[in-house]
A and B are shown apart, each in its own frame.
Chain A
Amino acid sequence: MEKARHTSLWQMIAAPIVWAVHFCAVYAWTASACAHAGAAEEARLGVALMTLAALGLIAVFAWRAWRQWDLLSENDHVHDAPTDGHRRRFLGHAGLLLSMVSAIGVSFVAAPAFYIGSCL
C-alpha cells in the first residue's frame, strides 16, 4: 500500500533534520546555561534529555524507513527499476542509512557532555 510518505523526500531526510535540531538545541542550551548561570550540571542534564528525545525520534524514523525498504520480503538492495516499488524501497533504504548516520552523529555530539563536567 503506497502511503504519502513513500513518495516524500522530506521523510528521507527526517532523521538528519532531527540531528540538526538536536545539534542547535544542545549548543544553544549549553551556551546559555554556562554563560548565565555557570551551571554545568544543568547543562549536562539538558543535553542528556535532549539526546534521549532525539534518539527516540530517530528510532521511529528508522523503523518506518526499514518498513518502507522492505528488504526481507524482496531480498533486493539495488533499486534501479523504473517502478513505484523500486522508488519506494530506494527512498526507504536511503532513509534508513541516513537514520543510522544521524543516530551516530547525535551520540557523538552528546558524548562530550558525558565526560566533561565543567563550563570552563
Chain B
Amino acid sequence: MTRPRPEPPRAWHDPIPQAAPEGIYPPTEEMLRAPVDPKVQQAQEKRLRAVWAQPKGWRYISAVNNSEVGAWYSLTAFGFMLAAGVLALLMRVQLAVPENDFLTADRFNQFFTMHGSAMMFLFAVPMFEAISILLLPALLGARDMPFPRLSAYGYWCFLIGGIFVMGSLLFNVAPDSGWFMYPPLATKAEGPGSDIWLLGLSFIEVASIAAAVELIVGVIKCRPPGMRINLMPLYAWYVLVVGGMILFAFPPLIAGDFLFEMERSFDWPFFDPARGGDPMLWQHLFWIFGHPEVYIVFLPSIAIAAMVVPTAAQRPIAGYSWIVLSAVGTGFLSFGLWVHHMFTTGLPSLSLGFFSAASEAVVIPTGVQLFAFMATLMLGRVRMILPMLWIAGAVAIFTAGGLTGVMLAIAPFDWQVHDTYFIVAHLHYTLFGGMIFPVIGGVYYYYPFFAKKKMSERLGRWSFWLTFTGFNICFLPMHLTGLQGMPRRVYTYPGGIGWDWLNLISTVGAFVVAAGILVFAWDLLRPKRQPPTERNPWQGGTLEWSHDVPDPGWGSRSVPYITSRYPLWEQEEFLDRLDSGRFYIPDAPEGLRETVVTSAVDAVPQHVARITGPAWCTLWAAAFTGGAFIFPTFHMYVPAVISALLALAAVVWWLWTSTAQVPEAPLKDVGLGLRLPTYVSGPQAPGWWGVFITMLGDATGFASLVFGVFFYWTARPDFPPEGAIHADPVFVAAAAMLLCASWGATRVARSVNRRAWHGLTRALLAAAPVLALAGGGAFVLAVTVPDMEPTSHVYPAIIWALVVWTCAHILAGVLMQLYCLAGAFAGKLTPRHDADLWNTTLFWHFLVLTCLVTAAVIGLLPGAL
C-alpha cells in the first residue's frame, strides 16, 4: 500500500513534517524465520545483479563500486611501493662500499627524498584507504560506501598526483631536500623539485581527506541495523580513529604547504628570518602532521591483526573495550609527540620535557593492544595459519622498534643519535613491523575475499622467511652503524672508520628483503588457474566472510540484522537468511543502488540511501583538479585557473545530477515490516555528516594558520614590527557584520523553507550571496587600502594569508548559496527536500566562525599586542 495518507492539520507557522520510519523494528524471530519463495528470490537476485553490474569494456574505468575502486587503489599503491623500494635498493648499492660513485650526490638526494615521500604519501596512507574501501562495506554488511563517486574521485586524484610526483625522477628534477622539505634548504632549492613536492602531494592529501570523510561516514552511518557501537568490528573502530586523526593531522600540513608555496611563488617571507619569518614554523606544522602520520599508518595495519587474531585463535577477541581504549588513546596521545622530531632545535628544555613525557606515555595504550592480542591467542586454540605467521613477525619486529622508540624519546639520548643511522633502523623497525608485515599478512588473509581465489601457502612461507631474515640482516646492523656515528642522507663515506662491513651487510640484507617482496608480488599477481575458493576458508566469524563467490557486485545480498560481534559464529541460520534475502532491502524494484543508513550509536534504521553508480564526471573532476595543482608548478597560472573552473563545473554537475534527488515516494518498504524514508536531511543524512567532517578538517587547517600568528608572536621579538601598518579596522568591522548577516540569512532561509514560504526563502537565498561577496570585498579592502605589502615582512604576509584563506572559503559559501537558490527554482529544494540547504547552513556555521576569528586576529590583535 503506497497510497499517500492525508496531511495532518498544520498551523501557518508550523514546519512541514518530514518523513519518518514506520513499522516494526527490531524484527521478531518469527519474521526472520519466515521463508522466502524461491521464485521471488530469483527475481530479486536478477534485479539486484542488473543494478550492481559493472560497466564493460573501456567503460570499466567509469566504475565506482568499492570493490573496483579499492582494487585499483591498492594495486596502484603497491606499484608505488615497489618503485620506492627500487630507489632504496639503488641507494643501498651506492652505500655498499666506501667512496662509491654509482650515484651522484644530487641523484642520491632525489632518491632518498622520493623514497621517503613515496613510501609515506603514495603507499602507506593510500594503502590504508584502499584496503578500507575494499573491506569496510563488507565488514558492515553494507552494499557500498556512502559516497562511491567520492572514492573514485579520490582514486583518480591519487593516480594523477602520484604519477606526476614520481615521474619527476625520470626528468632528473625530483625534489631533493628530504621528505620533510625543511626551509631554507627547500625554499631556496633551484628548479621545480620543491614545487612538485608541495603541489603534487597537497593534491594527494586532498584525496586522502576525501577518503577519510568517506570512511568515517561509512562507520558512523552505514552500519547494518542492530550493529550497536559495542558490536562493531574492531577494524571499524580503528577506521573511525584513523579517519579522525587524518582530519586533524593533514590540514596543518596543507596549511604549511600553502604558506610554503606562497613563499616560493610570490616571495611572502613566512620562513625567511631576515624579514621576520621563522623556519621553525614549518617544522612545527610538518611534524604536527608527521608524527600522527606514523600512527595513521600503524593503527589500520594493527587493525588487520585484530581481525586475523580471533580467527587464528577461533575465539572472540579478549578485551574488546581495552582495544577500543588503546585505539582511541593512541589516536589522542600521538598528537602530543611531534616535537620529539625537533629535540635538537634549541627549544626550552621544559618544552622538550613535555614532549618526551608524552612520547613515553603513548607506549601504554600501544602496548595494551599487543597484550590483548597475546591474551586472545593464549585463551584460544591457535592454528598457525599463514596470515598469523606474518602477524607474529610483525609483533616481533614492531616490539623491537618500539623499544628503540622508548630510548629515542629520552631527549639526551636523541641528541647523541639524532640524524644517524640509528634513527633509520628505528623507523624501519616500526614501519615494517607496524605496517608492511601486517598488511602482507592481511593480503594473504583477505585474498580469498578480494579475488575469490587463494594465494600459495608455500610461496607465502618463502616470502615471509626471506623478508623477515632479510629485514633483520639489513636493519639490525644499522643500529650499530648509527651508534658509530654514521649520519643519514650522505651519499658516500670514507673507508676504514668501522662503517664499511656494516654497510655491506645492510646492502646484502636489502636485496634479501627485495627477494621476499618479489616472491609475494609474483604470488599476488600471477595468473591462478584454480577453482573458486570456498566461502569462508579460515572459518572467520565476522560479516565479510559472508561474501558471495563469485562476486555478483551487490556487496551483500540483503542488509542483515545484527545481534552479535561474530554473526557467522553466533547468529542462528545467519547465512541462509542473508542469502535468501530474508533481511533488509533484498530487492531493487526501482532499479536504483541503495544501502541502509542507521543511527550513529545504536544503529536503528533511519533511511534508505540511494547511492551513485558509474560516472565520467568524477574522472573529469579529478583530471581538472590535477591541472589546477600541476600547472602552478611551472608558474602557468592562467591554465591553472581554467582547470580549477572546469573542475568546479564537473563537481557541480556531479552534485546536481546525482545527489539529494527528489525520490519517487517519501517512504519505501525495506522488508521485515519496516518502511524507511527515501530522503532525509540534516544530521540523519550521510551528506550532512560528510560536510561536518570535512569542515572539522578545514577548521584544523585554519587553526594552523592562526597558530602561525601566535607562533610568530612568541618566537619573534619583531612581530609585529615597530611602526607596522595594520589592517583597516573599519573595513574589518564591516566585513564581520556583512558576513554575519549572510550567515543569518542562510540560517533563516532553512527555517522558512520548511514552512513553505517560497518567496521569502528565495529572497533570503538571493540576498545572502550578495552580502557574503560584499563582506569578502571588505576583507580585501581592509588590507589593500592601508597598502599592506606582503613581501615586506611576515606580519603583513600572514594577515594576507588569513584573508586569502577566508575569501576562498567565502567564494565556496557563495557558490553553495547560489546552488540552493537554483535548486529552489528547479524544484530540487522544496520544504520536504532540503538536504542541500541543511548542508549549506552547516558550512556557513563553520565559515562565519572562520570570518569572525580572521576579523578578530587582523582587526583586534594589533591593539591587544
Contacts and interface: CB of A to CB of B under 8 A. Distances in A.
Interface of A: 7-9, 12-13, 16-17, 19-20, 23, 26-28, 30-32, 34-36, 40, 43-44, 77-80, 82, 84, 86-87, 90-91, 93-94, 97-98, 101-102, 104-105, 108-113, 115-116, 118-120
A34 B674 CA distance: 63
- Size bracket, chain B contacts: 35 or more
Nearest to B563: A82
Contacts of A43: 350
A88 B226 CA distance: 15
Nearest to A38: B348
Contacts of B352: 112
Contacts of A87: 228-230, 601-602
B229 A13 contact: no
6 contacts: A80-B316, A86-B230, A87-B229, A90-B229, A97-B329, A105-B358
Contact of B364 (A35, A79, A101, A109): A101
Interface in B213-249: 226, 228-231
B229 A82 contact: no
Contacts of B666: none
B714 interface: yes
A27 B321 contact: no
A17 B336 CA distance: 12
A109 B354 contact: yes
B600 to A, nearest CB: 7
A119 to B, nearest CB: 5
A90 B333 contact: no
Contact of A112 (B231, B325, B354, B564): B354
B336 A7 contact: no
B565 interface: yes
* 6 closest cross-chain pairs (CB), A and B: A112-B353, A90-B230, A97-B325, A16-B332, A108-B357, A82-B563
Interface string B165-195: 0000000000000000000000000000000
B600 A82 contact: no
Contacts of A118: 349-350
Contacts of B316: 80
Nearest to B561: A82
Nearest to A8: B601
B218 to A, nearest CB: 16
Choose among A36, A108, A115 the residue with the greatest number of B CB atoms under 10 Å from its CB: A108
Interface in B397-435: none
B714 A35 contact: yes
B361 interface: yes
Given A9-B601, A93-B321, A16 B329 contact: yes
Interface in B331-365: 332-333, 335-336, 348-354, 356-358, 360-361, 364-365
A112 B322 CA distance: 28
Contacts, number: 134
Nearest to B321: A93
B314 to A, nearest CB: 17
Contacts of B724: none
A94 B563 CA distance: 20
Given A104-B364, A116-B349, A109 B325 contact: no
A105 B336 contact: yes
B336 A97 contact: no
A82 B361 contact: no
B527 to A, nearest CB: 43
B348 A30 contact: yes
Contact of A94 (B325, B348, B353): B325
B328 interface: yes
Given A19-B333, A86-B230, A120-B348, A36 B714 contact: yes
Contacts of B853: none
A78 to B, nearest CB: 7
Contacts of B365: 101
Interface in B557-575: 562-565
Contact of A19 (B332, B563, B714): B332
Contacts of A108: 357-358, 360-361
Contacts of B354: 23, 26-27, 30, 109, 112
B321 A23 contact: no
B320 interface: yes
A35 to B, nearest CB: 5
B324 interface: yes
Contact of A116 (B321, B325, B350, B715): B350
Contacts of B350: 30, 34, 40, 43-44, 112-113, 116, 118-119
Given A104-B361, A109-B357, A111-B357, A94 B336 contact: no
B348 A82 contact: no
A117 B356 CA distance: 16
A12 B563 CA distance: 22
Nearest to A80: B565
A97 B714 contact: no
A120 B364 contact: no
Interface in B564-602: 564-565, 600-602
Contacts of A13: 328, 332
Contacts of A19: 332-333, 336
B230 A80 contact: yes
B570 to A, nearest CB: 9
A43 B229 CA distance: 42
A97 B106 CA distance: 51
Contacts of A93: 321
Choose among A78, A101, A104 the residue with the greatest number of B CB atoms under 10 Å from its CB: A101
B371 to A, nearest CB: 13
A79 B229 CA distance: 11
Contacts of A44: 350
B472 to A, nearest CB: 32
Nearest to B331: A16
A56 B336 CA distance: 21
Nearest to A22: B336
Contacts of A104: 361, 364
A30 B322 CA distance: 34
A19 B328 CA distance: 13
A82 B562 contact: yes
Given A44-B350, A80-B230, A113-B350, 11 more contacts: A17-B332, A19-B336, A31-B351, A34-B350, A78-B320, A80-B231, A82-B564, A104-B361, A105-B333, A109-B354, A116-B349
B379 to A, nearest CB: 12
Contact of B348 (A8, A34, A101): A34
B356 A105 contact: no
A80 B564 contact: yes
A30 B351 contact: yes
Nearest to A86: B230
Nearest to A101: B329
Contacts of A32: 714
Contacts of B351: 27, 30-31, 34
A54 to B, nearest CB: 13
Interface string B617-655: 000000000000000000000000000000000000000
Contacts of B321: 77, 79, 90, 93-94, 97
Nearest to B601: A7
A40 B358 CA distance: 21
Contacts of A102: 329, 332
Contact of B320 (A7, A35, A80): A80
Contact of A82 (B231, B320, B333, B349): B231
Contacts of A30: 348, 350-351, 354
Interface in B700-718: 710, 714-715
A12 B600 CA distance: 14
